[in-house]
With several copies, the nearest count.
Chain A
Amino acid sequence: MRWINVRPSSGMRLTLAVAPFLIVLAAYVAGSAARLADNANDKLLPGLSSFVDAINRMAFVPDGRSGQILLWADTAASLTRLFSGIGIAVAIALVIGMLIGMLPTMRALLAPFVAAVSMVPPLALLPILFIVMGLGEASKIALIAIGVTPIMIRDLALKAIELPREQIIKAETLGGSSWQIALRVVLPQILPRLIDTLRLQIGPAWLFLIAAEAISSEAGLGYRIFLVRRYLAMDVIFPYVLWITLLAVGTDYILNRLRIGIFPWSELEKNT
């Protein structure tokens, strides 16, 4: 039988899915044991017991200095920034994306500019951002927004342009003004796609968040990672990275559920 026709059973599928994670774990444990045998103080690949210690310290014991539990304080700070940044990006992308997608004049005005801006590496312009926005939350949120907005605008504009011309004309024959067509025809069809676009931008958004927190912050997952990185405290960094990954995967999953829940028709469309 050809390989392309071999279908694993569902039990087999589960085994296969888990395997790579187990292999990575095993490789880690082996690597860690080897390094610790060489140098019992090795910090690069700490043993599992160090993780338990570190996780306990970060996630369950209040910090001596602030009295807060660091992992939760960091998570709250980071998620607030992340979702504020993404929220702003979404709002801007929705408005500008729809303007570009619907109005030829706006398209002529903004499309080339947005295309150029989307290629500017925002990390290189950080000093300007901090001067303009100050060093508080604003600039961190702004970095996330600046980082992900141009791509979201381009994506949404494209989706708006891709709407069949027939639908717009139909809406005009139903008495719709530009505003009404935007509100009742284009917007609702763009929203589920917005969620998909958003899901793709969660990874980059975390990157920008971590970069912003590395420069100035007093709490946050990225801040903590950069703070302890000076001491190569991998026993803290690994759990934090894992936690960020879990948060990102969870957000992705929830957003997809949300799309299906709020826009059931979008799922129907996909299947046809």
Chain B
Amino acid sequence: EAAPKKEFKVAWSIYVGWMPWGYAADHGIVKKWADKYGIKIDVTQFNDYVESMNQYTAGAFDAVTLTNMDGLSIPAAGGVDTTAVIVGDFSNGNDAIILKNKDKLADIKGQNVNLVEFSVSEYLLVRALESAGMTEKDVKVVNTSDADMVAAYKTKDVTAVVTWNPLVSTIMQEPDAKKVFDSSKIPGEIIDLMVANSATLKDNPDFGKALAGIWYDTMKLMTADSDEGKAARTAMGQASGTDLKGFEAQMAATKLFDKPADALAFTNSPELPKTMDHVRTFLFSKGLLGNGAPSADVIGIEMPDGTVLGDKGNVKLRFATTYMDAAAKGAL
């Protein structure tokens, strides 16, 4: 058998919950852990989130940051067996539905809604509409690039947008912007992950351990109430194009799992399979689980306890607690 792979490539994109990866790469934390396990980890920043997932799915990267929903619809549906190494945070208000001059969710009925189609925004919208007894048929979705969402909101004909931070906070600065629904109302459903190729992990589990080590090291620094922590947050803020204040506001709307134990509790909770069921139903209704997929069951999702949601013979997305567990036990 060939010697295990020693060099790994990790992709991340600019988002509050993922900024630690860039900081860790810049400040030697990545190198520290890679050296410890005698491997090399190359961290690449993407400005375009979709492209980072596509590159991972096509095999150019071994690990990538993405949401639970995109993990299912892109790599998993693309046949790449993917394992969630770290459950980093869930969106707790970071994603929101904003109406112009209207303050009730029910007012969205009949409006054009600008959002990134097939993204967590659309998922949030569907969940919000459900909660108000509507369906997507009650609104008209207009695909709009996230980079231009802020400018789009400022135009007259845009009256409803669904988007995420930092765009939400920028838009909320407009006097007529009213947040009518946000992800804190569906807590734990929009999860930000660091996933890696299952085969790669199996080949060299040290890679997963290193990722966990990097993450929790950086977390400690980032959440510290010290000057060092502040400096780290300032740097991350600048890297995402804002400043300390803006960045801390975004962090406030994110439920960061800065301690491995919290992440473990969340991942092992019975809520997770429920969430994933919502997600896969949504994706299936959009045709995103593969063309001609007969049901939402085509892709198997394995939970930490070994139970599988969907087709047991085609498990492509796995929630593993191995690495977070090791971190919690200090066994890295």
Interface residues of A (CB under 8 A from B): 39-44, 53-54, 57, 63-65, 126-128, 130-131, 134-136, 213-218, 223, 226-233
Contact of A215 among B26, B46, B78 (CB under 8 A): B46
Distance in angstroms from A7 CB to nearest chain B CB is 44
Does more than half of chain A's interface fall in helix, strand or loop, or is it mixed? loop
Cβ-defined contact, A230 with B150, below 8 A: yes
Once bound together, how far apart are the Cα atoms of A213 and B48, in whole Å?
10
Q: Which residues of B contact A43 (CB under 8 A)?
A: 57-58, 78-79
Q: Is the CB of B145 within 8 A of A215?
A: yes
- 17 residue pairs from A and B, CB less than 8 Å apart: A41-B79, A41-B173, A65-B235, A128-B151, A130-B51, A214-B48, A214-B147, A216-B114, A217-B45, A227-B47, A229-B50, A229-B54, A230-B149, A230-B170, A231-B74, A232-B58, A232-B150
Establish whether residues B119 and A232, one from each chain, have CB atoms under 8 Å apart when the complex forms. no
B198 CB to nearest chain A CB (Å): 12
Contact of A41 among B51, B78, B154, B238 (CB under 8 A): B78
Specify which of A39, A42, A126, A227 is in contact with B143 (CB 8 Å cutoff). A227
Docked complex Cα distance between A40 and B175 (Å): 11
Task: Knowing that A43-B79, A135-B55, A215-B48 touch, tell me 7 more A-B residue pairs with CB under 8 angstroms.
Answer: A130-B154, A131-B55, A131-B151, A135-B46, A135-B155, A226-B143, A229-B148
Q: CA–CA, A232 to B240, complex, Å?
A: 13
Q: Given that A218-B45, A231-B166, A233-B241 are known contacts, is A126 also in contact with B151, CB under 8 Å in the complex?
A: yes
Q: A39-B80, A41-B173, A231-B77 are in contact. Are A223 and B47 (CB under 8 A)?
A: yes
User: Which residues in A have their C-beta under 8 angstroms from that of B55?
Assistant: 127, 130-131, 135
Interchain CB contact under 8 A, B143 and A130: no
For A65, the chain B residues whose CB sits under 8 A away are 26, 234-235, 238-239
Task: Specify which of A213, A215, A231 is in contact with B118 (CB 8 Å cutoff).
Answer: A231
CB distance from B230 to the nearest CB of A (A): 12
Q: Which of B51, B60, B79 is the one whose CB lies under 8 Å from A39? A: B79
Which residue of chain B has its CB nearest to the CB of A229? B147
Contacts of A57 in B (CB 8 A): 291
Q: Given A64-B234, A223-B47, A231-B170, are A134 and B157 also a contact pair (CB < 8 Å)? A: yes
C-alpha spacing A257/B76, complex, angstroms: 50
Q: Are B44 and A216 in contact (CB under 8 A)?
A: yes
Would A136 and B157 count as touching, CB distance under 8 A? Answer: yes
- Nearest CB in chain A: distance from B148 CB, A: 5
Chain B residue nearest to A41 (CB atoms) is B79
Determine if B328 is an interface residue (Cβ-Cβ < 8 Å).
no
Bound CA span A131–B246, Å: 24
In the assembled complex, how far is the CB of residue A136 from the closest CB belonging to chain B, in whole angstroms?
6
Which residues of B are found within 8 Å of A63, using beta-carbon distances?
Answer: 238
B 152-183 binary contact with A (CB < 8 Å = 1; else 0): 10111110000000110010010100000000
Residues of B within 8 A of A136 (CB): 157
Interface pair A216/B152, CB less than 8 Å apart: yes
Q: Does residue B200 face the partner (Cβ distance < 8 Å to A)?
A: no
Q: B residues within 8 A CB of A128?
A: 151
**Cβ 8 A contact of A218, one of B48, B142, B166, B175:** B142
**Which residues 57-84 of B have a CB within 8 angstroms of A?**
57-60, 73-74, 77-80
Alpha-carbon distance A128/B154, docked complex (angstroms): 10
Q: Are A227 and B60 in contact (CB under 8 A)?
A: no
Taking a contact as CB atoms under 8 Å apart, the answer to whether B242 and A231 are in contact is yes
B143 → chain A, closest Cβ, in Å?
6
- Per-residue CB contact flags for chain B residues 38-52 toward chain A (1 = under 8 Å, else 0) read 000000111110111
Given A130-B51, A135-B44, A214-B48: A228 and B60 within 8 A (CB)? no
- Whether B79 pairs with A216 at a CB distance below 8 angstroms is no
Q: Which residues of B contact A127 (CB under 8 A)?
A: 51, 54-55, 58, 148, 150-151, 154
Shortest distance between the CB of A196 and any CB in chain B (Å): 34
B194 beta carbon closer than 8 Å to chain A: no
- Determine the chain B residues whose CB is within 8 A of the CB of A226 once the complex forms: 47, 143, 145, 147
Nearest-Cβ distance from residue A140 to partner chain B, whole angstroms: 12
Q: How far is the CB of B308 from chain A (nearest CB, A)?
A: 18
Given A42-B79, A43-B78: A231 touches B114 (CB 8 Å cut-off): no
List the A side residues contacting B125 at CB < 8 Å: none
B223 contacts chain A at the CB level, 8 A cutoff: no
CA A127 to CA B242, docked complex, whole Å: 18
Query: A214 contacts B57, CB within 8 Å?
Result: no
B118-157 contact mask (Cβ, 8 Å, vs A): 1 or 0: 1100000000000000000000001111111111101111
Return chain A residues, CB-CB under 8 Å to B212: none
Complex CA distance for A131 and B80, rounded to whole angstroms: 16
With contacts A126-B51, A130-B148, A216-B45 known, is A232 near B142, CB below 8 A? no
Kindly state the separation between the CA atoms of A57 and B291 in the bound complex, as whole angstroms.
10
Instruction: Give Cα A3 to B11, complex, Å.
Output: 50
State which residues 221-267 of B face A: CB under 8 Å.
234-235, 238-242, 246
